Amino acid sequence: MLELRPNCACCDRDLPPDSTDARICSFECTYCADCATGRLQGCCPNCGGELLARPRRPAARLAANPASAKRMLDPRPG
């Protein structure tokens, strides 16, 4: 199950579970759409994989399967 990390690892922007701006790679490195398309040019700096829109978890499922609260930040990518 996806962690649904709460922030962009580049700029620390909040990315709630229902955000349409979240982008992830296959390892769940998480970035906002602005960093993913601009600074990172669609490529994860950690694994080299493509960054795609993160699926959203339905609100009804968040109670039993909450999003992660652990913030990840590495402002060095790209």
Domain range for 20: 1-62
Q: Is residue 23 part of a domain?
A: yes
Q: What is the pLDDT of residues 30-42, one digit of tens each?
A: 999 999 999 999 9
Q: Is residue 48 part of a domain?
A: yes
Q: What is the pLDDT of residues 34-76, one digit of tens each?
A: 999 999 999 999 999 999 999 999 889 999 999 999 998 886 6
Output the CA–CA distances (angstroms, integers) from residue 2 to 24, 38, 66, 68, in the order listed.
10, 24, 10, 9
> Residue 36 in 3-state DSSP?
helix
Provide the domain count of the chain.
Answer: 1
Q: Is residue 25 part of a domain?
A: yes
Q: Is residue 77 part of a domain?
A: no
pTM, full prediction: 0.89
CB 32 within 8 A of CB 15: yes
